[in-house]
Amino acid sequence: MGAGPSKGIGRIRRIARRHGVVRLRVFGSRASGRATGSSDLDLLVDLKPERDLLDLVEFKLEVDRLLGQDAVIRNLEVIGEAVKNLCADLRRRHPAIPWRGITALRNVLIHHV
């Protein structure tokens, strides 16, 4: 997650509470410590008895939006970091690319999102 794992987990817990989740467990590669960059997040969810399938669907959609946004942010952070490490000659050969802007965006995302 782009905001960092602990912030992401906290956000998911808040979403879970709003949708009546009483128990939330992670399983699969993330739980076992074998996750890679392409691993998904496997969640086992128990709802309050008075909640229904729509609550579960809304929970899933909200978590999917959160994770999708975080993946985009993380990709922008990686691109910005890579741009910082490009050789000066390559930057000079492509003056139309806003190199400083890309790096500045990375800095904002890393420190303020």
Q: Residue 13 sits in a domain of what CATH number? A: 3.30.460
Residue 85 belongs to domain spanning: 5-112
pLDDT band at residue 21 using 50, 70 and 90 as cut-offs: very high
Between 16 and 112, the more confident residue is: 16
3-state secondary structure of 66: helix
User: Model confidence at 113, in pLDDT bands (50, 70, 90)?
Assistant: low
- For the segment 85-104, the average pLDDT, to the nearest whole number, is 93
Provide the domain count of the chain. Answer: 1
What three-state secondary structure class fits 47?
strand
User: For residue 35, what is the DSSP state?
Assistant: -
- pTM for this structure? 0.57
pLDDT digits (tens, 9 = 90+) for 36-87: 776 778 899 999 999 988 899 899 889 988 888 777 787 888 898 899 899 9
Q: Which residues are catalytic?
A: 106, 111
CB 42 within 8 A of CB 31: yes
